[in-house]
Structure 1
Amino acid sequence: MTHCALCQRPVDSRVLAYVDELRPPVRRLVETTVAGWQAEAGICPSCALVYAQQAADQRHTTPLNVTTDPHTTFPYYHPAEESVLAQWERLPDYESWTGQGVTIAFLDSGFFPHPDLTTAQTWTGERPDWAHLPPAQLRKQVEVAAPRLIDYVDLTGGQEALGLDHPALWDDSWLSWHGQMTTTVAAGNGL
């Protein structure tokens, strides 16, 4: 057991090694705020969270890309972060908003009933290699986990195919992935 170089709390040295996961603006903030701190010394999760929040608090509410000449092609909100931020950094997570009772309709292509769209919160046993399962085996695995899908409509080929039992939902058209990506980002369970 070692200690955090900033707060002196005891912490497992393996946790301190995660200092490499700090975003560069957060790391620079610690380096400029704490005299003599070197990244090699590490940082505990509590201190990392404090500095990550301080860096987030320095973000502007309006984009800075229009303040440069020439303008950048994407909006950025912190002078030390002239890059596109990940979704989890741009959007706060509100635990009181669970999504319970919400129904979302997706109009897209390349969709299939992925395990992320089931009621299961964890996968029991060995996790299947989803990308390599034949359609029939994928369907069996997903149906066991109770899909949260309400309905399916396929409008390709000038036809209207309806229902969760329609073969188009379970064939290999899921290899066209865009609809699947947008659906699991919005409503996936992390499986």
Structure 2
Amino acid sequence: MKALLTVNSNGWEPDREICFNCVSRYTRVHDQLATAFPHFAEQDIKILPTPFRLEAPDELRGRGITIAFLDSGFYAHPDLTRPKNRILKYVSVVGRTRPEDLHKPQISSWHGMMTSVVAAGNGQMSGGLYRGIASEANVVLVKVGQASRIRHEDIEAGLRWVIRNRKKYNIRIINISAGGDHEDSYLFDPLSQSAEEATRAGIVVVAASGNAGLDAAHPVYPPASSPSVITVGGLDDKNTFDSADDDMYRSSYGPTVDGLQKPEVIAPGIWVAAPILPGTQTAEQAELLSLLENAGDSELRGIIMQHPGLDEDLDHAAELAPYLLRHITWIKIRDNNVISGHYKHVDGTSFAAPIVSSIVAQMLEAVPDLKPHEVKIALIKTASRIPHIEIDRQGWGRVNPRAAIHAAMVLRAERKKSEKKAAPRATPAPRARRQAVKK
């Protein structure tokens, strides 16, 4: 417990007092980790797994729910395909759909791979540790751009494809970790109109607010600027459990050109565990750094010599003393955000949005007939604001999965009660009169 507190509570030392809430949360997470991962070492938890940092209920995993992801490209990562392939469909609206592309590590693949796995990955490559909150949800992957650019009209085309195919794949959620080319009123913008149409069709649309929060204009582009869309900003929780550390990521915020407050909620937008694209030099370098981090002093030089050309700095440093090699390794792990040979930590509202999408999948698993507007109301009602942050930047605040699920159940119960009251009562049929029989 002391090790977990030390690693994940900035500035805390064993001789200092700690808050009881922090200890309580750490105890729960420690027990969950120990149960699920009996052999984990506390000092190895560099980045807190998303389900634990948001205290998402473990019993709901998005079962029976399909999330469609609109992004520049994708990869069939093991966290989505093993032991069961949960990718129901891959399609491109920007060219010919070639299923084999899903298995090729391309420059356009990494972003969509990360967003889909952040939401729905099962942590296969980490023994289940770095899973998404909706780790049993199905996914549909819709390619709407290239690595260099995603166009306004292509996101619209992706939305329309999902609307047409929603029933075929039981698509209940659309995650859009991309934005259009320009600001525009939702009343006239075709992309925003498509997002509104998707919501009317019963699909919950979740979009990233963007990362321009430090710009003077801090614009929110379509479809995130649409009124029915759940727009997600970025939370910086400093990779700790202490809510006193909570701050804002540099996410874009409103008001929009229509005067709408955006984002509605915030979710972790930094220190988010995500997969490294397999088969790339980045993946090979991460595996090398992970090997060095876990090796004994006598093994360091040999490991570097067995992997020539992967890292020029390490090649030149191979003859240095072990303590210097360890220092170089540590710097490279830090600078490259490496968690392990298969994962790194990433930042951006592109990753905050799929976290909210995964929470929505939990809500829909718990309450399958929940309406999109009810999902939004439940998330807003149960979010908690960061006291020292302007309301415009954070909306209604930090998402609370467990409370949102409970609120969704209450909303459904209230709707059913209201529907029952509004239903017209059947008029009883008049009783037939008995006629006297004359004798």
TM-score using structure 1 length: 0.42
Larger strand proportion of the pair: 2
